[in-house]
């Protein structure tokens, strides 16, 4: 079940929202059942895997709270191995088998035909952070299995984040209140996110998909650039739209879910971009991998090695394919170059630094979107070396119409430009005003009309 579907908007959400207000004392149990139903809607039998992960990590958390010394370390290690083992089996087994086959020219590992559970990377990372934090003493283990289960499976951020740490939300799970203001703010935030997804990301997605269906050898420079920029906007509005909806839903049920985006395309460097993009994932890797490896405390060479490793893992987290690893290394390389001295040059011009960052990120998204590494590199060559393009020019109206052009303009303005240029006085007049309420109603009606026409598509990050 996706947020941008009629089933969710017209049935699931109203029923769960009203039901949660009625049960009050049993809210956690009710939301847990709703979350498991939400997941089972799309993964009828794989919900059992989610339930197993919940039971496993709750049990390990309890064990960690009652043991000491070597046994405690073994228990933590067992939990980490089990969590990562499940993730590797479902997401990376085929990729590992291909690598081993390429090295040995023998099929040493059998490849199982498995269905990738939706959101497995997200709920696995939350489970890992829970047992690691319990081990470190950063949070107490939950005695109540319902609380742990709700933390891991809470439907607003179960499928595509943001990744939440138990210590940041445990008190809200144990006791929370829902105010009219929170509900109002939550609904508005949800509608803003829904608009991003349905009215912007989906429209640009059709443009991108059309361009990527062409034989890459006949794509000209203009078409390549339009496809690349369209995808750059699509993935931002798709993913940040989901995060907005998750944060809004959280408020409606009394939870404060952390922000996941802060206008990343206005960044002045790749380092800053990763502080603004998918913030919860970057925070997770920093706390649980980068710092334990030594971070930047063990010399320059070790720092660079740690950074490269983090971005290899970031690429792998997104998918079991060499393209994702290269995409991660691509970002890691520019972060190292900025540390070496490029950042000092970028600081001389705010405009050029934003252009540089957007260009690098845009090139990276081509590798991310392409079917394979070779296709991605070929596509990039079409963008950078127009003299190598064929004489064939694909007609612009084959993949764009007036609606797409208008959405492109909205996407450009909405990536942070409007917020940056709007005076504070106008922002205050807009917030919680009748005008904003009318705007939200209009956006919601437009989204419902679009969904009724069956023009929506699943969120990009569902596959991760």
Please identify every residue annotated as catalytic. 318
- Cα 257 to the center of its chain, rounded Å: 14
Sign, CA dihedral 395-400-401-406, equals negative
Q: Which long-range contacts (CB under 8 A, 24 or more apart) does 397-400 make?
A: 398/210, 399/207, 399/210, 399/211, 399/223, 399/226, 399/227, 400/207, 400/226
| Unique residue bearing structure tokens 């569902």 | 462
Query: CA 356 to CA 10: how far, in whole Å?
Result: 43
- Burial (CB < 10 A; 0-12, 13-18, 19+), residue 179, is exposed
The helix/strand/coil state of 332 is helix
Using CB atoms within 10 Å of the CB of residue 310, give its burial: 0 to 12 exposed, 13 to 18 middle, 19+ buried.
buried
What secondary structure does DSSP assign to 195-255, as a single string?
A: HIIIIIIHHHHHHHHHHHTS-GGG--HHHHHHHHHHHHHHHHHHHHHHHHHHHHHHHHTT-
Cα 343 from chain centroid (whole Å): 27
Token output for 159 = 């499928």
| CA–CA–CA angle 371, 278, 259 (5° rounding) | 150
Contact 278, 260 (CB under 8 A): yes
């Amino acid at each position: 079940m996706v947020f941008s579907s009629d089933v969710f908007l017209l049935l699931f959400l109203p029923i769960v929202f009203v039901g949660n207000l009625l049960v009050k004392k049993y809210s956690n149990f009710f939301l847990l059942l709703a979350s498991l139903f939400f997941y089972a809607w799309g993964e009828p039998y794989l919900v059992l895997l989610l339930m197993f992960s919940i039971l496993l990590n709750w049990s390990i958390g309890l064990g960690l709270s009652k043991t000491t010394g070597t046994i405690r370390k073994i228990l933590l290690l067992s939990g980490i191995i089990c969590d990562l083992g499940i993730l590797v089996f479902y997401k990376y087994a085929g990729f590992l088998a291909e690598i081993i086959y390429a090295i040995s020219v023998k099929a040493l590992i059998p490849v199982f035909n498995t269905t990738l559970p939706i959101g497995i990377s997200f709920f696995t990372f939350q489970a890992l952070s829970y047992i690691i934090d319990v081990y470190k003493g950063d949070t107490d283990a939950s005695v109540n299995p319902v609380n742990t289960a709700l933390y891991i499976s809470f439907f607003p951020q179960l499928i595509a984040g943001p990744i939440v740490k138990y210590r940041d939300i445990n008190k809200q799970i144990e006791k929370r209140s829902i105010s009219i203001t929170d509900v109002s703010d939550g609904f508005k935030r949800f509608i803003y996110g829904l608009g991003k997804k349905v009215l912007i990301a989906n429209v640009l997605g059709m443009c991108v998909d059309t361009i990527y269906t062409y034989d890459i050898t006949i794509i000209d420079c203009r078409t390549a650039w339009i496809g690349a920029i369209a995808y750059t906007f699509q993935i931002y509005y798709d993913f940040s739209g989901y995060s907005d909806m998750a944060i809004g839903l959280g408020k409606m049920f009394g939870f404060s879910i952390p922000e996941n985006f802060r206008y990343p395309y206005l960044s002045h460097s790749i380092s800053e971009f990763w502080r603004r993009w998918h913030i919860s994932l970057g925070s997770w890797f920093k706390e649980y991998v980068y710092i334990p490896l030594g971070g930047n405390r063990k010399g320059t060479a070790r720092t660079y090695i740690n950074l490269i490793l983090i971005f290899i893992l970031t690429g792998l987290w997104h998918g079991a394919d060499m393209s994702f690893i290269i995409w991660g290394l691509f970002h890691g390389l520019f972060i190292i170059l900025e540390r070496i001295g490029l950042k000092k040059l970028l600081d001389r011009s705010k405009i050029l630094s934003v252009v540089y960052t957007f260009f690098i990120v845009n090139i990276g998204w081509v590798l991310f979107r392409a079917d394979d590494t070779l296709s991605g590199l070929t596509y990039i060559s079409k963008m950078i070396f127009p003299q190598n393009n064929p004489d064939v020019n694909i007609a612009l109206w084959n993949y764009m119409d007036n609606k797409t052009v208008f959405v492109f303009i909205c996407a450009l303005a909405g990536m942070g430009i409007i917020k940056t240029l709007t005076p504070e006085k106008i922002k205050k007049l807009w917030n919680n005003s009748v005008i904003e309420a009318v705007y939200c109603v209009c956006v919601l009606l437009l989204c419902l009309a679009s969904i009724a026409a069956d023009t929506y598509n699943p969120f990009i990050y569902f596959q991760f």
